[in-house]
Amino acid sequence: MPYKVMDPLWLLLLLPIAMVSGWVAARLDQRSRLQHKRQSFPQAYIEGLNFLLNEQPDKAIEVFIKALEVDPETVETHLAIGNLFRRRGEIERATRIHQNLIARPHLEKLQRYQALFELAQDYHKAGLLDRAENLFLEVVDAPLHGEAALNNLVDIYQQEKDWNKAIQTCKKLGRLTGDRTDYVIAQYYCEQADQAEAEQDYELAENLAHRALSVDKTCVRATMLLGKAALRSNDHLEAIKIWRKVESQDPHLLGEVVSLIAASFTAVGDESGLQMFLQSALNRHSDMTLMLALGEVIERKEGNKAAQQFVLDWLRSHPSAAGLERLIELRLAETGAHGQRDLEILKGIISGLIEQHVGYACSRCGFRAKSLHWQCPSCRRWATIKPFSANTEGQYAER
């Protein structure tokens, strides 16, 4: 029988029918397979859980991976198992679970985003920052994961000291959440300014400090940088003008610049101006550093007796170990050999107590430090470390 070529028009008409028939057949086959999966699901997972309970996690993973099917219920189960491994610190096992999920070709879009996000967290915790960054960037615009992905990216860029990326990501995070990020961004600019100073690019350092203040006008760190810039130009009057702004920005940190202000007042020969500034500031803030600095000015101008009386009067209303130590120092300067020995013993005891109770503390997590940190080493918050003593605990202004 001769072969007859079918009319192209008939081919076009039969094509949709073939497509529909294929779709129906596929659905029936899929339904049959899904029914089989649901029947076999419990036994496989019970077997895997038994391995977990018997401390055989690798065997459990193999069972779970083999049992994994493209089904919303099993996907959620695998995500939960992967998270469990990560929380236990078993990052390699968590990674295997999440990688296997992502390799499945028929995951729903939201499930794929979730699996990518979980794998990114695995990499982040393992210190594989480049891999983590790439995955967080992939899900940063996904529903439900944007804020968490941005927070993780900010942390990565901070660890890598990539301050430009940290700035841009923090801005995006602020726009998304509506939360304040200006004071954090200002700290990033200051980090760049410190780096520029280290490289002796003082003009860039000054510009970056100004940029920090344009973002957050209360940034004490930027003000201190600008004061140092004025000192480099030997402009002590400008340095005094700049550093005095710290009082309105954060009075808790005024003590950090008192010695600098005092040195500049002395450099321009204005001892009276220094005394007026210190007395005025001390009237507003019961700060130990201000009191000690003013006591030194009084000693230079009016003598030891006047300084002792000033410190004694202050101690009556503001008792403190540091104030008592200063009073003993003044007494030692005029006491004979016999009395001096007793006072030196007492001073040593007080100095030891001060060493234990004076320093810096984070207003958020309570971390204690011997020196000022702009970022808390414990909770990683910025601008929360303040001067601390037994007399000032709990008096911090929180961000």
Q: What is the largest CA-CA distance in the chain?
A: 135
In angstroms, rounded to a whole number, what is the distance separating the alpha carbons of residues 199 and 29? 68
Q: Strands, DSSP E only, in the chain? A: 359-362, 368-369, 385-388
Q: CA angle, corner 245, sides to 374 and 215, nearest 5?
A: 60
pLDDT at 52: 54
Length of the chain: 399
CA-CA distances (angstroms) from residue 43 to 58, 63, 105? 18, 10, 25
43-48 long-range contacts (CB < 8 A, ≥24 apart) are: 45/77
Amino acid letter, 121: Q
Domains and CATH numbers, the chain: 44-169 (1.25.40.10), 359-399 (no CATH)
Whether the CA torsion 154, 159, 164, 165 is positive or negative: it is negative
pLDDT at 331: 81
Structure tokens at 228: 């140092």
Residue with tokens 């939960």: 80
pLDDT at 129: 98
pTM of the model: 0.78
Taking only the tens of pLDDT, the chain with its 399 residues reads 443 433 433 333 333 333 334 444 444 455 545 454 444 444 555 555 565 555 655 655 565 555 555 455 678 877 888 888 898 898 998 998 899 889 888 888 999 999 999 999 999 999 999 999 999 999 999 989 999 999 999 999 999 999 999 999 999 999 999 999 999 999 999 999 999 999 999 999 999 999 999 999 999 999 999 999 999 999 999 999 999 999 999 999 999 999 999 999 999 999 999 999 999 999 999 898 999 999 999 999 999 999 999 998 988 888 887 888 888 888 888 765 556 765 676 666 666 655 555 689 999 999 999 899 999 999 999 999 999 753 344 444 344
Alpha helices in 161-254 (DSSP H): 163-177, 182-198, 202-215, 220-232, 236-243, 246-249
pLDDT at 34: 46
